[in-house]
Amino acid sequence: MQYVSTRGQAPALGFEETMLTGLARDGGLYVPDTLPQMGADEIAALAGVPYEDAAHRVIRPFVGGAFSDDALAAMIARAYAGFGHAARAPLKQLAPNHFLLELFHGPTLAFKDFAMQLIGQFFEAALERRGQRICIVGATSGDTGSAAIEAFRGLDNVDVFILYPHGRVSEVQRRQMTTPEEANVHALAIEGHFDDAQARVKDMFNDHAFRDEVGLAAVNSINWARVLAQVVYYFTAASSLGAPHRALSFTVPTGNFGDVFAGYVAKRMGLPIDRLVVATNQNDILHRCLTTGRYEVAGVVPSISPSMDIQVSSNFERALFDVYDRDGAAVAQLMDELKAQGGFALSQGALDRLRESFASGSASEEETRAAIARTREATGELLCPHTAVGVHVAEAARDPHIPMVTLATAHPAKFPDAVEEATGIRPGLPPRMANLYERPERVTRVPNDLAAIEDLIRERLRR
């Protein structure tokens, strides 16, 4: 299988090259040139199999010759061995025909672990084989950064620099990034918000001299391998609930559009998904776009679901590529308009096609708190605020006759203040993380300035 850039000007690559390359050299995002199909029998056969086996069956066609069957199986097994639930991604029923897909049983308590633990294995194998060294630079609104640090800490041939918006992540998220002691981990607190951090990371990739000098690599959902690993749990959840014989819908708390795009990939591979509901917090650019057809950046407003405080949703570009008939020049033009004018208008045809797969809704701060409180009262479950955004939107959007699965993207203990405010209950961290608040922190403040950040990275790499 080959991977092509959404902007049409970068070379097509195989799986391993795509993973190691990150952002395409034309500034676009890599996507598979065609998607493998899963037939009805193959989907039905996923019901009840261990998560690892399902992951192997879904991922295998995408990796081509990069890893043998046995090597892939061993990497998947290692990736999920440390998860705190035997099902890895268990389903819990909230109400008749409404389910939560719990994605927070990994080491850093957020759905990012599903992909990051696996690509940590992929990177390690590929780098060892090639005798190569890389410098990972990632942007995070809180969860990608901690998951990346957990997956890559202490590796000999990797440095990992994580840019997070200063003062805009929860204390648990911050401490997960600032307390690891390994010398290859560098937590950088940038002045600005997540969009600034993500823009600087993309700027670094577009600075080809710097990129080649340091061996830049991406672990954000810029990296196709991240999205791929997230496709798996749509299949496991759907097959447990009766797919392919029964269609179902998913509501996905959304920021950078990576997780919901993984659902779209599953649908295009043959999974009978009725609707993919994009659930945003008050930073609702995607909901506005799907409602009005205009993608218009507004200022990022801090919320109690900080991981979704995003206005420039990187992976939306991947969806645009499809609804503009894979016309890289058209996508490049929209992205240029976004950069120059802060927005663009979708053609009616593109909007109609997006709406064939995606519905949307948003939750205010009050609605998010109310969803946490109401769910606790009705079911005993404590939701993290991101999941609560999803539950609020799902309750409004769902057809009672079609099963709805809301993705529970993080553990409530990562956001104890918001949960306590809504319910009076302060969720505690699992025992293995109990001393997180006592560990010393190590962080460097950086300005929102490309040259300053590049200089700092060069200087750290020289040490």
Ligand X SMILES: Cc1ncc(COP(=O)(O)O)c(C=O)c1O
**Closer by beta carbon to ligand LJ64HWYM, 164 or else 324:** 164
Q: How many residues sit in the footprint of ligand LJ64HWYM (CB under 6 A)?
A: 13
Q: From the list ligand LJ64HWYM, ligand X, none, which binds 368 (C-beta under 5 to 8 Å, kind-based)? A: none
State the nearest-atom distance from the C-beta of 145 to ligand LJ64HWYM, in Å: 6
Q: In the window 314-343, what residues touch ligand LJ64HWYM (CB under 6 A)?
A: 314
With beta carbons less than 8 A apart as the criterion, state whether 81 and 55 touch: no
Catalytic residue flag (residue 112): yes
Structure tokens at 305: 């679901």
Q: From the list ligand LJ64HWYM, ligand X, none, which binds 257 (C-beta under 5 to 8 Å, kind-based)? A: ligand X
Separation between Cα atoms, residue 33 and residue 352, nearest integer Å: 23
**Closer by beta carbon to ligand LJ64HWYM, 299 or else 431:** 299
Best CA proximity match to 358, nearest among 274, 283, 293 = 274
With beta carbons less than 8 A apart as the criterion, state whether 75 and 122 touch: yes
Choose the catalytic residue: 92, 112, 202, 267: 112
Q: From the list ligand LJ64HWYM, ligand X, none, which binds 314 (C-beta under 5 to 8 Å, kind-based)? A: ligand LJ64HWYM
Pairing mode, if any, of strands 185-190 and 444-446? parallel
State the nearest-atom distance from the C-beta of 135 to ligand LJ64HWYM, in Å: 17
**Closer by beta carbon to ligand X, 112 or else 376:** 112
**Unique residue bearing structure tokens 């409180």:** 373
**Closer by beta carbon to ligand X, 107 or else 244:** 107
State the nearest-atom distance from the C-beta of 176 to ligand LJ64HWYM, in Å: 11
SS3 432: helix
Separation between Cα atoms, residue 250 and residue 6, nearest integer Å: 25
Where would I find the H helices in 189-242?
194-206, 208-214, 224-240
Separation between Cα atoms, residue 383 and residue 36, nearest integer Å: 35
- Build a one-symbol-per-residue string for 271-310: x at contacts with ligand LJ64HWYM by CB under 6 A, - elsewhere: ------------------------------------x---
Alpha-carbon distances of 17 from 100, 214, 219, rounded to whole Å: 35, 17, 14
The contact set with ligand X (CB under 6 A) reads 110, 141, 143, 253-260, 307-308, 386, 409-410
Structure tokens at 446: 């950086």
Q: From the list ligand X, ligand LJ64HWYM, none, which binds 409 (C-beta under 5 to 8 Å, kind-based)? A: ligand X
State the nearest-atom distance from the C-beta of 135 to ligand X, in Å: 22
Q: How many CB atoms lie within 10 A of CB 142?
A: 30
Separation between Cα atoms, residue 432 and residue 85, nearest integer Å: 14
State the nearest-atom distance from the C-beta of 220 to ligand LJ64HWYM, in Å: 4
State the nearest-atom distance from the C-beta of 290 to ligand X, in Å: 14
Q: In the window 233-272, what residues touch ligand LJ64HWYM (CB under 6 A)?
A: 255-256, 258
Separation between Cα atoms, residue 30 and residue 354, nearest integer Å: 19
At 236, the amino acid letter reads: T
Q: In the window 119-178, what residues touch ligand LJ64HWYM (CB under 6 A)?
A: 140-145
**Closer by beta carbon to ligand X, 176 or else 178:** 176
Q: Name residues whose C-beta falls within 8 Å of residue 437's C-beta, 6 or more positions apart in sequence.
A: 171, 175
**Unique residue bearing structure tokens 């645009």:** 320
With beta carbons less than 8 A apart as the criterion, state whether 91 and 404 touch: no
**Closer by beta carbon to ligand X, 180 or else 258:** 258
Interface residues with ligand LJ64HWYM (CB under 6 A) are 140-145, 220-221, 255-256, 258, 307, 314
So which residues are the catalytic ones? Answer: 112
